Amino acid sequence: MSAAMPRAPGDDSTAAVPSSNQLLDTAASPPLAQGGFRRRASLPPSRARRVYRACFVTTPPPNRLAFIVLLFVLLYAGQGLCAGSVVGDQDDKMSGVAAAAAYVHYCDDASPATPPGCVHKLVVNITLDDSILVGSVLETEVTVTHALHQSLFPLGAAADAAGTDATSLQVSLPPITVAMRRGAVQVRYELNYLRTFPAALRDDVQVLRTAMSCDDGVTRCPSYKSMTGALVPAPLGLCCLCTGVECALTSDLCNASMRGDFCFRSGAAGIVCVQDEGITYDGWSVGSSSLFYTLHLSASGKGIAPTALQLTTDTPEVQDGASVLQLLQTSGSSPGEANAKVDIAGRVLFVPSTEPSSNSSGSSSNSYVRDDDPAEWLLLPAPFVSVSGNDCDRVGVSADYIYSLSSITQCNAQKGSCVRHQLADYRAEDLAEIAQGFGGRYIAASLGTFTRQMMGEQGFLLDAVQRTGGAKLRWTVNADELELKALPVHGALGAVEFVSGTGILQVTVQNENAYAGLYYIAVGHCQRARALSCDGDGVTQECLQTALVAGANASALFRFSMVSDQADEVGSIASCTVVLRDAAAGPLASKNVSWTVEHTTTTPVPSLPKAEQCGRCGFSGLSCLLRTVCEWQILVWTAMAVAIVWAPYTVLACWRIVRDFGAKGLSYLR
């Protein structure tokens, strides 16, 4: 801002009040900065008046047409057509679905969201609320008609939130319609691949042909793939010998163990084998959750370029020409609060493998299972799964681990003691619960509406929900062509006094509002004095200054230089009327001030060039033109007076000439 900007409250500097161009940039607000201020400065005092809004409802005439007209008038009045603009905190709201708050700032290269090549920018903060939404798609629009201009005071003038309001000027702008469409919301979980898992790993006992040897040269366990992916062909398994020492301790123990399957029935030794059963699954760890959706914004209005922007939660900022759209907050709630059935973060997702695989028996097991059907997916808590394969009774326990266990321990254990709680078991348990009318706990189709998505090499699991709990976005657009108009606010005219010995007339203006106020101070109807350094002299025209005063009951001091040109007026009484007007030129207060003309105020000042003096008079100020002796203007006035006086005689003479020629013509024809 210029050095002539009004000082902050408490500054008693004698700096001149800024011109209108210093208050609002001409590019950003031509009506407010150029047309509005200067037109008002040239109006005579009698022309300035306040415009009041009022609604009158009269008794309709007794006919149907008048009744219909009255009905429409009442309908529009009920919608607030006759009410004044309510600014408040500059929020433009629509039925609780979307709310917008607009601000005007200077374009600053340091700002992360600034349209290129602008002087002023309009920043619109929009809040979406889908708490009452029915359906998955949110469509709404909001109209922006007001803003807070926050670039009129020097930087640092607002030290806190209250100061920010006090240095913000309320302005109106042409309606800008902002339409938004938020697509379906999905809770997205990042997937990290673990490994393949069999539906189940089952143990089995193979009876050997010998009693005292673990290798009869014929019997072998099924081949399998180790955890490293290497094929292990025909392993020997866990050897269980049938000796008296091992079985004579208690027959009950032997009968309850896997050894009992062959010791007391065949008398031969045996081996414990494990093999895959069912289909093969790909295992994925489920990461933390985040919301994913697409947001489209379109805006139109006078003074801005038509805008169409689209972003997603993956790309929270997009720019197109003079507009920037940012997603500041994707959600106001957790996935559980966003109407998701369950938060599956931290679980393990099992999806049927897309590549047909063979189990230990050699038969293909995945050819009939769809990998894109959530009814075939399982979501298990992470503690149920052994990623390393070295945990008994967990999903993913490996054949490597079982074959590494002590043969004595496993032979004396019950059948299936280390291979319980497999994927097939959880699936069967869930299907039984669903068949009885209860919800499943592990089958994905029972836990949500899931789909999978690949973005490059990264996989995601998506769960469709209806609500986000609220989102916040910011739209920034070039505001250089916007027509900004300051809203009128109330103010008070404080002390008005002439400072003896200085020729200065001091006027104090107090702003009684929370926000800053734009006022006009007019000095007019002066006698034996005139004002300097303004468009008017206070005698034939008002001397007008624009006053920008901070809010929160702040006051500001403004000065007018007054002179008396006639030396013989020393000791006489000079007087002027000071009028305070709001931004709409409506009078707020007025005071008369008088003082005794002193030598210090009667010192002749350098006269203005005659052409400029005549220009100040204006063509209609005939008395000023005669007093200043403006030859060309007086000559034009004289010519106009002569033309007006002689116009009737000229018309009469022309009419007589035409009549005579007509009579002679008729005589000649006869």
pLDDT of residue 603: 43
Does residue 232 sit within a domain?
A: yes
Domain end call among 553, 586, 606: 606
From 24, 51, 44, select the one nearest 482 (Cα to Cα): 24
What residues of the chain score a pLDDT lower than 50? 1-62, 73-96, 161, 245-255, 361-364, 601-606
- Give the domain range for residue 639: 618-670
Same domain, yes or no, for 171 and 259? no
Domain end call among 486, 521, 550: 486
Same domain, yes or no, for 393 and 438? yes
Does residue 5 sit within a domain?
A: no
pLDDT of residue 113: 74
Does residue 326 sit within a domain?
A: yes
Does residue 137 sit within a domain?
A: yes
Q: What is the pLDDT of residues 167-189, one digit of tens each?
A: 899 999 999 999 999 888 888 89
pLDDT of residue 653: 86
Map residue 590 onto helix, strand or coil.
strand
pLDDT of residue 602: 40
d(CA 146, CA 152): 16
Strands (E), 80-137: 91-94, 98-106, 120-128
Q: How many CA atoms lie within 13 A of 352 on its CB side?
A: 21
d(CA 175, CA 142): 10
Same domain, yes or no, for 491 and 572? yes
Same domain, yes or no, for 352 and 267? yes
Number of folded domains in the chain?
Answer: 5
Same domain, yes or no, for 643 and 530? no
Does residue 6 sit within a domain?
A: no
Same domain, yes or no, for 398 and 431? yes
Same domain, yes or no, for 238 and 347? yes
pLDDT of residue 212: 78
pLDDT of residue 85: 31
Q: What is the pLDDT of residues 611-649, one digit of tens each?
A: 666 766 666 666 666 766 777 777 887 888 888 888 888
Same domain, yes or no, for 164 and 300? yes
Domain end call among 453, 486, 519: 486
DSSP state of 45: G
Same domain, yes or no, for 602 and 585? yes
CATH number for 529: 2.60.40.10
From 393, 399, 395, 376, select the one nearest 385 (Cα to Cα): 395
Q: What is the token pair recorded at 97?
A: 């679905």
pLDDT of residue 266: 65
Same domain, yes or no, for 66 and 104? no
**What is the largest distance, in Å, between two alpha-carbon atoms of the chain?**
168
Q: Are residues 245 and 256 in contact, defined by beta-carbon separation less than 8 angstroms?
A: no
Same domain, yes or no, for 235 and 155? no
Does residue 308 sit within a domain?
A: yes
Does residue 35 sit within a domain?
A: no
> What is the helix (H) or strand (E) element at residue 210, kind and residue range?
none
Same domain, yes or no, for 248 and 314? no
d(CA 13, CA 5): 11
Does residue 13 sit within a domain?
A: no
pTM of the model: 0.62
